[in-house]
Amino acid sequence: MNQQDIEKAAQMILAAREVVVFTGAGVSTESGIPDFRSPDGIWSRYDPEDFTIQRFIASKEARKRNWRLREELIAANYQPNPAHIAIADLERMGKLRCVITQNIDGLHQAAGNSPDRVIEIHGTIKFAKCLECDKRFPITDVLQRIKNGDEDPHCEVCGGLLKAATISFGEAMPQKEMYEAEKASRECDLFIVIGSSLVVYPAAQLPIIAKRSGAKLIIVNFTPTDQDSMADLVLHGKAGEVMSAILEKVREKVS
């Protein structure tokens, strides 16, 4: 971790009028949440095909496997890590417009970010939704129904299928959240990518939108990304360590 880069990142944050943070799986994994694509990740234990919207709708057995994964993730009770805390600190300092996250775990809110400043473009594991009437239920309530013997829970309002309120393969991105994310990306003057390899589109288009709209771009990721060449600053390292160091430097300069 280059101290000159930490200093430069802190200066860029202090100079910014409006910061947008974009987070990916590299932030969640530091809380112990397994990623999907690594050799020991979630897809080593589950078939990705079961997580397409088409398979979910067509197969009760696929739905049961979906709920099994949701139960596994909820039961683990993952907690925010230093990267989440640093991002919440940006809000407390009055610098943060919003967090755009690919993660579904709700840890930004748990760390202290205001829910109305967190844009969850891939949905949230905290709720289940009805595929017919779109009503939402706390996912813990639905998982309790499953524990009580309801293997294939349906909506208590209209009878439609329930699924976790996350975006499945083949499912359309949420229009409202994507509109808000693109608008924030166009209007910010500093866009910080944290813990994303920037390979999943359309989400990975957001840093490009920000850069083309005149924003400075910082990328914090453990490994290089395809967008490093257009960034104003790239810091390779663990998200928690890098962001904690940057925020410590920011606090030094404002104290």
Active site residues: 122
d(CA 20, CA 119): 11
Determine the 3-state secondary structure of 151 from DSSP: coil
Q: How many CB atoms lie within 10 A of CB 232?
A: 15
* Kind and range of the H or E run holding 129: strand 123-130
**Beta strands at 19-23 and 190-194: parallel, antiparallel or unpaired:** parallel
Tell me, what DSSP letter sits at residue 33? Answer: -
The answer to whether 99 and 239 have CB atoms below 8 angstroms apart is no
Alpha helices in the chain (DSSP H): 3-15, 25-28, 53-58, 60-75, 82-92, 107-111, 139-147, 175-187, 206-212, 239-254
d(CA 138, CA 165): 10
Q: Which residues touch 43 (CB under 8 Å, ≥6 apart)?
A: 36, 37
Structure tokens at 198: 């920037």
Sign of the torsion angle spanned by Cα atoms 173, 174, 178, 181: negative
